Amino acid sequence: MTAPRLVVVDYGMGNLASVAKALERAGAAVTVSDTPEAVRAAGAVVLPGVGAFRDAAARLDASGLGAAVVERITAGVPFLGVCLGLQLLFESSAEGGRRPGLGVLRGTVERLETGLKVPHIGWNTLEWRPAGAGMAAGLPAPAAVYFVHSYAAVPADRGVVAAVTDYGGPHVAAVARDNVWAVQFHPEKSSAVGLRLLRNFVTVAARGG
């Protein structure tokens, strides 16, 4: 299997080096780029992110990277969002005042409603939904992954929910629709489970979706 040509989007926010290294370990040929041209030429796109939704959305908009990402998703190119990269797919977020996102998926991002400490930091288990079958292939049940977040997606279409986690109540941990996969947790910090999930994505990317 030929390693897919995968671009990790660099918009100035995120743990790019660790995400890129994990994808390389999973079998991808990785380029980290901050240009819309590179994103438009990619065989697969990964949007990572750590930080505030408002700042990330503004940077994606100003740089043209957001438009390039949406173009590739619309074209059917395999896409993976990681942490903030999941949240940015939705129509808006309440973080730092209501701010529009990329609008790829209908719904919003809201502060975690839980009686537990926020942010949610640490290992937690996943409960997979039918939409997550591709992501979950070969993973143990239950699968434990590493989270760091204060906000979570609230999809308008519950059919896109690929996995949930329980943190003082159920919260969306992953979404999937067609060529789009996205996870709220950090696969690059999630040991063998995270690496297997990335390998599943790389396999999909290698065959073009």
The total number of structural domains that make up the chain: 1
- What is the reported pLDDT for 145? 98
Q: At what angle do helices 191-206 and 16-25 cross, to 10 degrees?
A: 70
In the DSSP assignment, the letter for residue 91 is: S
- What is the reported pLDDT for 1? 54
Which structural domain, as residue segments, surrounds residue 180?
Answer: 5-206
Please state, in angstroms and rounded to a whole number, the distance separating the CA atoms of residues 109 and 14.
18
Q: Which of 83, 95, 120, 171 is catalytic?
A: 83
- Burial class, 158, CB count within 10 angstroms (exposed 0-12 / middle 13-18 / buried 19+): exposed
Quote the tokens at residue 190. 């999630």
Task: Specify whether 186 is catalytic.
Answer: yes
- What is the reported pLDDT for 2? 64
Query: CATH code at 157?
Result: 3.40.50.880
pLDDT in tens, the chain (209 residues): 566 689 999 999 888 999 999 999 999 999 999 999 999 999 999 999 999 999 999 999 999 999 999 999 999 999 999 999 999 999 999 998 899 999 999 999 999 999 999 999 999 999 999 999 999 999 998 999 999 999 999 999 999 999 999 999 999 999 999 999 999 999 999 999 999 999 999 999 998 76
Quote the tokens at residue 22. 């994990």
Task: Specify whether 188 is catalytic.
Answer: yes
- Burial class, 52, CB count within 10 angstroms (exposed 0-12 / middle 13-18 / buried 19+): middle
Q: Which of 120, 149, 171, 186 is catalytic?
A: 186
Distances (CA, A) of 194 to 137, 144, 166, 185: 12, 9, 18, 9
Distances (CA, A) of 50 to 43, 77, 88, 91, 138: 24, 23, 11, 18, 27
- Burial class, 54, CB count within 10 angstroms (exposed 0-12 / middle 13-18 / buried 19+): middle
Task: Specify whether 95 is catalytic.
Answer: no
pTM exceeds 0.75: yes
